[in-house]
Amino acid sequence: MSVKYQSIKGMKDVLPSESPKWIFFERIIIEWMKKYGYEQIRTPIIENTNLFIRSIGEATDIVEKEMYSFVDSLNKDKLTLRPEGTVACLRACLENNLLYNSTQRLWYMGPMFRHEKPQKGRYRQFTQVGIEALGLDGPDIDAEMITMTKDLWNQLGFKNIELQVNTLGTVAERVKYRNILIKYLEDNIDVLDEDGRRRLYSNPLRVLDSKNKSMQDICNNAPKLIEYLGKDSLCHYYTWLNFLEKLGISYVENTRLVRGLDYYNNSVFEWVSYANESPLTFCAGGRYNGLMEELGGESKAGIGFAMGVERVLDMLDTKVIPENNNLIYIVHFGNNTDEYGLLIAQKLRNIGFNVKQDFEHTSIKSQLKRADKYNARFSIIIGENEVYLNKVKVKEMKSRNEVLIDLNNLIDFFIKNN
């Protein structure tokens, strides 16, 4: 009995029927990044495991149970498939001295990996688009990041979305608040679920992010971090919000928004979609001042965000994607017609046309059906008689009109009808 191989659970094929949506999105992303002055960086999908433990935080869900890690059999190094893109981007900047007397605005797109339970909108291998602005510490760049995302959502035609914002202050301010929060949660320990009790001392801020309905009252009534922030943190936060208001961008303050990575501080945000029954975060980010220093570099400010491409594409209305019906399909039957078709196809490709030649050697009817399947605009029909006359038939697939054209006039015909 033969083995039936399948893709690994939580890892999805992108089939030819889905590829146009991906290609459309990738092209938009490239132009969008150019518009805002960001340069692309590409990093390996495998990094040293300790890089993620040190930066993301040992008590986070990602490090505790979601990383794909292994020991390299050649040198015993502990390696991990990257679960997110920020840390690898910063490692590359440090290794290649990109921040020496300089700031950087970088973007990336590629696969990330998390060993978690697959569900709708959540995969074990998924694609992220992310940007990082390094060496810039003002609330103005924080505001531009929001403007940037809002610009993209408008271009993609997204509706029923909401921007949620919060501030996490500095590390020192969070340490002070952490102790107060732990005391509050200890007083309500009977209400905490298993996950809340597990996080009580290791990562108490994440308890506030619980989706458990039975815990919502204690989460909503918990002390607010913003009440324990100093003047500088509050000034940064409210200046950021003031910029958003002047830019006409609506937002909701969510004091329970803490993000799942330990390196965040000050400004944090999430874009949430309400298009379906359950709210879905599809883009999120924030500040990570101090992360560069944590990784062994000089102290540099940083802010960034990432979006889950699969989630964004699920939200995308296919009507937004322009139809690609500029394909010319070559149909041929009879002796020497395939060679004749090859020559014509290459001439047309050389001047920029998209041409697909049928090599299945079936009936004209079957070949024209395939032309329709591929959404061809025109079909070139070549038989032995056309070769003898040095002509071809051109069929406009939508109207089904045919015209006999001299080969010398074929290129002019397609240029005129392009």
The CATH number that applies at residue 162 is: 3.30.930.10
Mean pLDDT for the stretch of residues 19-42 = 96
* DSSP one-letter code for 346: H
Of the residues 268, 291, 319, which one is the last residue of a structural domain? 319
Binding-site residues for L-histidine, in ranges, read 84-86, 114, 128, 132, 259, 263-264
Q: How many Cβ atoms from other residues are within 10 Å of residue 130's Cβ?
A: 22
Whether residue 253 lies inside any domain: the answer is yes
Please tell me whether residues 29 and 126 are part of one structural domain. Answer: yes
Q: How many Cβ atoms from other residues are within 10 Å of residue 406's Cβ?
A: 12
Token digits of residue 83:
């679960």
Mean pLDDT for the stretch of residues 229-233 = 95
Please tell me whether residues 105 and 254 are part of one structural domain. Answer: yes
Please tell me whether residues 51 and 122 are part of one structural domain. Answer: yes
Structural domain boundaries enclosing 372: 327-416
Unique residue bearing structure tokens 């379906």? 276
Pick 62 or 383 by higher pLDDT: 383
Q: Which amino acid, 5?
A: Y
- Model confidence at 410: pLDDT above 80: yes
Q: 0.85 cut: is pTM over it?
A: yes
The pLDDT value recorded for residue 1 is 59
| Helix-strand-coil split of the chain, %, nearest 5 | 40, 25, 35
Please name the helix (run of DSSP H) or strand (run of DSSP E) that holds residue 26, with its range, or none: helix 19-35
Q: Which domain CATH number covers 376?
A: 3.40.50.800
Please tell me whether residues 234 and 293 are part of one structural domain. Answer: yes
Between β-strands 161-167 and 265-273, what pairing exists: parallel, antiparallel or unpaired? antiparallel
Model confidence pLDDT, tens digit, residues 244-282? 999 999 999 998 888 767 788 999 999 999 988 788 999
Of the residues 319, 335, 366, which one is the last residue of a structural domain? 319
Number of structural domains (the chain) is 2
Binding-site residues, in ranges, read 84-86, 114, 128, 132, 259, 263-264
- Model confidence at 119: pLDDT above 90: no
Of the residues 319, 339, 369, which one is the last residue of a structural domain? 319
- Model confidence at 58: pLDDT above 70: no
The CA distance from 230 to 240, in Å, is 16
